[in-house]
Amino acid sequence: MSQLRTSQPARHPDPTVKAAGLAYLIFDRPDLARAEQFLTDFGLRVAARQDGALFLRGTGPAPYCYVARKAARPRFVGFGLEVATRDDLRKLAALPGASGIEAMTWPGGGERVRLVDPSGFEVEAVFGRAAAEGLAHRAPLPLNNADRHPRINDTQRPPVAPPEVIRLGHVVIEVADYQATAAWYTRHFGLIPSDVQVLPDGSPAVTFFRLDLGNTPADHHTLAMAQGFAPLYSHSAFEVVDADAVGMGQRVLREKGWCHAWGIGRHILGSQIFDYWQDPFGDKHEHYCDGDLFTSSRPTGIHAVSREAMAQWGQVMPRSFTKPKLTPAMILTIIRNLRRSPDISLSKLITLAKLFG
């Protein structure tokens, strides 16, 4: 049986606050028109253009879930986490390095506190955004199966169009300083490790963190964190209404000429039916449906990591999905982190390269 032999990830008994939701992602993009073309083909909708930034939303009530800012070079900046009260913002504003409470001028308004996690990702704690009016999306298709036949004298004809994204589901990051970064999110935002995939030495390779919403079911993971050798964006995931929407997304994005990354398949941890696509800047975006929901009482699962452990069915995860871009700057970062970070070593680099490189 696999065992976790490090102090993190672990629940914190008294976190600063408990995050209530994943609000939005922030990207810098040198070409907003190109970003918009991919994202609308993907199924997001333009909510606003403001101050050199593009705001996109799903059909749900969030005023936006994706921010693309005009910048000289592409990069993932960070993400917003909703908190439940203004007092939560006050508690977070008292942390070392945090901003004060700031009024937001983005669609929906609200207030935020800006923080930086130990790996350098920007995290905005957000409260008080006004909900937008929800947009209509098609109902899930009624499925005939061997025991139940809800569809008689009727056909299945989902529209040939970008699938309607309903909401932002989760974001996945890679970090070199795994222990410090995991401790920061459990300590300050109350995230719960749902499942941990461990390396042969018992250290975590990937942790799937969910929100602590008590008895209210939460997504299996809102944030996932992988052991890497540099802070990197891995991917983000957006919920669509059913498996036909996932499949129609593949058809539309393929016909539009975008780059496929992995899928269609069903994950083991989280159970989502998934399909991954790369945007014009090489960043992966996932369509998914049918994910697991856990309450806070569900204990953490510990599992051995392997490529085969990523999906129940479908293509085994291709090496291109996790292989890093080894630019000179990235190689220097890896060397620097090998010397500095207590969580990584040459032997772990070799192990991860064999698994995922």
Q: Is residue 75, in this structure, part of any structural domain at all? A: yes
Three-class DSSP labels, 182-198: HHHHHHHHCCEEEEEEE
Place of tokens 């070593």: 345
Angle, alpha carbons 342-319-280 (nearest 5°): 95
Q: Which of 172, 149, 303, 291 is nearest to 220 (CA)?
A: 291
Place of tokens 């994005």: 253
Q: Encoding tokens for residue 43?
A: 């199924």
Q: Is residue 325, in this structure, part of any structural domain at all? A: yes
* Number of domains the chain contains: 1
Q: Is residue 157, in this structure, part of any structural domain at all? A: no
Where is 178: in which H helix or E strand?
Answer: helix 178-189
The CATH number covering residue 110 comes to 3.10.180.10
Backbone torsions φ then ψ of 23, nearest 5 degrees: -90, -50
Angle, alpha carbons 60-66-67 (nearest 5°): 140
Model pLDDT for residues 203-262, shown as the tens digit of each residue: 999 999 999 999 999 999 999 999 999 999 999 999 999 999 999 999 999 999 999 999
Query: What is the rounded average pLDDT for all residues in the chain?
Result: 96
Domain that holds residue 122: 19-131+164-356
Q: Is residue 138, in this structure, part of any structural domain at all? A: no
* pTM given for the model: 0.96
Model pLDDT for residues 257-267, shown as the tens digit of each residue: 999 999 999 99
Please say whether the dihedral angle defined by the alpha carbons of residues 220, 226, 230 and 234, taken in this order, is positive or negative.
Answer: negative
Question: If pLDDT is split at 50, 70 and 90, which confidence band does 1 have?
Answer: low
